[in-house]
Amino acid sequence: MMLDRKRILNNLWSEIRGCVSLVESNDEDLLDLVEKLKGFRLNLKAKHNASNNQSSKTQDIKLLLGASIPSETLIKLPQISKNKGSGTTTSKRLKGDKEKAMEKNEKKKRLCRGCGELSYHDIRNCP
Ligand SMILES: [Zn+2]
């Protein structure tokens, strides 16, 4: 049995869209459709669980999603950062630079005989 599954799925989507556009302005019809679809879905789910055919189920969903939803509307998977860890490296490097700078300043310090502290001044310009 060869079915044009893609075409049928496209028809399915247009049926669903048609239903939605017909009921969206009427609260009662809207709730009715939701309930009917929900019941239908639960029925199908029970059937699928009974047959326990997970792989074909997944394939069906993929086909269904791929059939007519434009790719832009498909949920975009979060991109795994290729620069993982670079932030840490940067902060480490910055810290290193800062420490080097501090060491440099440390060397410029001299012991002031005026106040007895390591400072950037000496006894001649001690505050
Ligand atoms: Zn001083």
The verdict on residue 60 lying in a domain is: yes
What integer is the mean pLDDT of 29-33?
A: 91
The verdict on residue 106 lying in a domain is: no
The verdict on residue 105 lying in a domain is: no
Segments forming the whole domain that contains residue 36: 5-69
How far is the centre of ligand 1, averaged over its atoms, from the C-alpha of 96 (Å)? 29
What integer is the mean pLDDT of 110-118?
A: 89
The verdict on residue 83 lying in a domain is: no
pTM of the complete model beyond 0.75: no
The verdict on residue 25 lying in a domain is: yes
How many domains, the chain? 1
Q: What would the pLDDT profile of 40-56 be if each residue is shown by its tens digit?
A: 999 999 988 887 755 56
pLDDT class for 127, splitting at 50, 70, 90?
A: confident
Which residue, among 70, 59, 54, 72, has the nearest Cα to 13 in the 3D structure?
70
* 56, two tokens: 């074909």
The verdict on residue 97 lying in a domain is: no
The verdict on residue 65 lying in a domain is: yes
| Amino acid letter for position 78 | P
The verdict on residue 121 lying in a domain is: no
How many Å apart are CA 97 and CA 100, to the nearest integer?
A: 5
* 48, two tokens: 């699928």
How far is the centre of ligand 1, averaged over its atoms, from the C-alpha of 124 (Å)? 8
What integer is the mean pLDDT of 73-94?
A: 58
